[in-house]
Amino acid sequence: MIFQRARFAILLGLAAGALGAQPLPSGPFASGLYQVLEKAGCRACHNPDGVASATRLHFPDADASPARIEAFGNSLVALVDRAHPDQSLLLRKPTARIPHTGGERIKPGTPEETILQGWVDHLTRLSGDELAAAQRYKDFEDKGSGEVPQDAQLRRLTHSQYDHTVRDLLGDQTNPASQFPPEDFVNGYRNQSRGQSLSPLLVEGYSAAAERLAKSAFRGGDTHGLIPCKPSAACRARFVREFGLKAFRRPLDAGEQTRYEALMKGDADFTRGAQLVMEAMLQSPNFLFRMDSTPDPKLKMWATANRLAYSLWDTMPDADLFAAAAKGELATRAGVEKQTRRMLADPKAREALNEFVSQWLRFDRLVTATKDRRKYPLFTRETVSSMTEEATTFVSDLVWNNHDFMTLFTANYGHVNQELARIYGVTAPAKEFDRVPFPAGSERAGLLGQGLFLALTAKPEESSPTARGLFVREQFLCQHVPDPPPGVNTNLPPVTEQKPQTNRDRMTEHATNTTCAGCHKLMDSVGFGLEKFDATGARREQLTLEFGGGRGKKTVNLKLDTSGNVAGIPDSQFSSPAELGAILAKSAQCQECMVKQYFRYTAGRMDGAADRPLILKVLDDFRKSQFRFQELMVSLTLNREFPEKEGLNHVAGNH
């Protein structure tokens, strides 16, 4: 990190010197207004993944160098009216003198506002060279600043990758990873390098699985054709070499070849010796970890083959991909594109995409969800399975039939079976999960109108505007909403017979409590527009509350106010999933988020400021393709391997 800071300072100084300007000043902003803005919580929204990501104000990284912080402070001149300082956005927005999505962050008349006013005055006096330097900083940030986060050289096979790899390596269909400890979600996915530690239980699971798999592979003889020749000394060497290439996804070096041959010779029975080698290799880090990048030029093509295979197939390379690596064909853009398009035509690409979709849309939350069976008798385990199957079928159709992927939010149809037909109020099709149009008055559209989204973002007994708004922000806009402060009571006031209330009424506290208002305004205003749908996704015209039981049972019907908006997106008022879907489909933030989500999944890490040129290049290709997701996949693959423009060169890392 020290190196990164120093490098940034050097680059900034060189840029300023090259253009005849003095180095940017340091000190006054960092010790003054910067502290005020940090305390006001402005960073939470004004960052690349924040609600205000589309604005001109982006905070530098929290660990930015002093020079970078001061450069950021001077770049705020873009928000200052130099002729009329009191009318500056920098002054009027945080004090809420004009509409501000984040509300009042700095109270007028306070010492904090005095500091803000002082910095605005300072910015009005910047000289020509200082203005030019501020613009250079802004340009540098827009192009992607700092060091690109290095992709992990080795990434542990995820549980799904482990199962798929032993299937393709050994012909094993038992899914042994189902016995491993569950994986945690980090950054929204299970495959992030930051969350891939090895626990003692997982190591034990690997050992037991290797023993079982090796025994099973030769049960009843070599039924899977793993031994490539008639048993002999020469065949022993060939088995070690060829099986090792597949298991380690690269050629064995001379030392490895010798050691495994010696192990195999330890048993006079050829098959038992092969079983020993297999068990040892399946416990090796060379099998359990995939080589994602390498400084060794001899292995670069094999690392490329690994990246392509596990990104596009969620499993090991096949014979064609191994051959392309051996011939050096993956060293060219044309060679990688040829393999990418071939791989996307393979059924394994569909299986891999399903894994991405299941994690992105958090199927796990629905699978573990419970609903009040008295209120929602139609919600069963079969219903959950139907909801995940509908979403999978829906997304797959858009991707593999090359439809406009933004139809994800606007499609006026679902893929329905008998279970879902009862919830949606439609006639079940003759063929399960066939396309069925939503009734004109249903106000459903795309994922937002499907049971999966509506049910997994609800509580056991009722809908949850906050959970629905948070899901839209995080999964479809790639915006991070800060966690609630420690000690805050997140429970809503109970509904009583004496005071029956809708969710909107109960959540008034969120709007009036200054501790809660900033974040809940971002979430609740989205969720309110989806309140015509209950905790299972069934449509309702009003909220029905029941009190008591038996002869004393009382029913209260309350009118629903389903007006909502997406704070941060202009003209985004809506009152239904269909209207919200239309807003998202046209939103630049949402379109970019589709790229970011796939990047995060395939790269195994969050995108950073330095990845922005890559993200924007892929987004541009995505748009030019009329939002064909397969073209997004091709573009991301090619541009990570071969950055075309100078601005993308640093994105390649050590690939």
Q: What is the DSSP string of 436-503?
A: EEPPGGG---TGGGSHHHHHHTB-SSSB-HHHHHHHIIIIIS--PPPPPPTT---PPPPP-SSS---H
CA–CA separation, 33 and 59 (whole Å): 13
Domain layout of the chain by residue ranges: 2-143, 154-315, 378-586
The helix/strand/coil state of 175 is coil
CA–CA separation, 71 and 24 (whole Å): 6
Q: What is the pLDDT of residue 25?
A: 41
**Hey, which bits of 438-541 come out as E strands?**
none
Rounded alpha-carbon distances, angstroms, from residue 12 to 128, 234, 280, 646: 17, 61, 51, 17
CB distance 445 to 438 below 8 Å: yes
Say which amino acid occupies 289: F
Q: What is the pTM of this model?
A: 0.85
346-365: buried (b, 16+ CB within 10 Å) or exposed (e) per residue?
eebbeebbbbbbbbbbbbee
Q: Quick one: CA dihedral 424, 426, 432, 435, positive or negative?
A: negative
pLDDT in tens, 21-78: 434 345 789 889 999 999 888 888 888 777 777 777 888 877 788 888 888 989 999 9
Exposed (0-12), middle (13-18) or buried (19+): which is 50, by Cβ within 10 Å?
A: buried
pLDDT in tens, 146-178: 555 566 678 999 999 999 999 999 999 999 999
Q: Which residue has the tokens 């809908």?
A: 463
The helix/strand/coil state of 539 is strand
CB distance 431 to 389 below 8 Å: no
Number of H helices, E strands in the chain: 29, 8
Q: Which of 197-201, 298-302, 492-496 has the lowest mean pLDDT?
A: 492-496
pLDDT in tens, 575-624: 999 999 999 999 999 999 999 999 999 999 999 888 989 999 999 999 99
Q: Which residue has the tokens 């999944």?
A: 601
Say which amino acid occupies 566: V
Rounded alpha-carbon distances, angstroms, from residue 594 to 271, 344, 608, 618, 627: 49, 18, 16, 10, 10
Q: What is the pLDDT of residue 489?
A: 66
3-state SS string for 573-605 = EECCHHHHHHHHHHCHHHHHHHHHHHHHHHHCC
pLDDT at 520 over 90: no
